[in-house]
Amino acid sequence: MEKIDCIELAHFSNEHVEVLNSFELPENQSQFTSLPNKFWEVTEGQHRIVILHDNEPVGFFLLHSTKRVKDYSDNQNAMLLTSLSLNHAKQGKGYAKQGMLLLREFVTTQFPTCDEIALAVNHKNIAAQQLYVKVGFTDTGNRKIGPKGEQFIMKLSLL
């Protein structure tokens, strides 16, 4: 587990379920992501990652090493980041940024063959786009059409 100011990334554990179940998002955010309680069952190649503050879950996302990655990156060593959410009650404290700043070291430690993280962010989700740019993601110039419209494909090189 990597740490910045009491923030760490950790693999999901059953001890996180109760707090993750309490996560709430306003509609203007929930339209772009999924709450953690949608992911109690995952398939092989999906990894549930929890953002912890003082050992309390404040955020959640999935890392994929499934065939789905090919829709977002030509890099066979890439992983896909999806469903990033930060509990509404814990927003505005920098936890999402700190968690994403830990991503590079966490992934290189936990998934040593991975050398790139790809993601898709909705063109209307300005706050998420700004977060991803601040932590080192770059726009690939590629676009996908998702359920809520155009999505920008971004990547974070781990090399």
Secondary structure of the chain as H, E, C letters: CCEECCEEEEECCHHHHHHHHCCCCCHHHHCCCCCHHHHCCCCCCEEEEEEEECCEEEEEEEEECCHHHHHCCCCCCEEEEEEEEECHHHCCCCHHHHHHHCHHHHHHHHCCCCCEEEEEEECCCHHHHHHHHHCCCEEEEEEEEECCEEEEEEEEECC
- Confirm if 117 and 78 have CB atoms less than 8 A apart: yes
**Quick one: pLDDT at residue 34?**
87
- The domain that contains 60 carries what CATH number? 3.40.630.30
* CA distance linking residue 38 with residue 21, whole number of Å: 9
Rounded to whole angstroms, what are the CA distances from 98 to 6, 13, 18, 31, 138?
A: 10, 21, 23, 23, 18
Residues pairing with 109 in the sheet: none
pLDDT for residue 21 is more than 90:
yes
Sorting pLDDT into bands at 50, 70 and 90, what band is 4?
A: low
For residue range 31-85, what is the model confidence (pLDDT) as tens digits? 889 888 888 888 899 999 999 999 999 999 999 999 999 999 999 999 999 999 9
Domain membership of residue 71 as a residue range: 3-157
Percent of the chain at pLDDT > 90 equals 82
CA distance 67 to 39: 18
Whole-number Å distance between alpha carbons of 159 and 145? 29
State yes or no: pLDDT of 3 exceeds 80: no
What pLDDT digit, counting tens, does each position of 141-158 carry?
Answer: 999 998 889 999 999 999
Instruction: Please state the domain count of the chain.
Output: 1
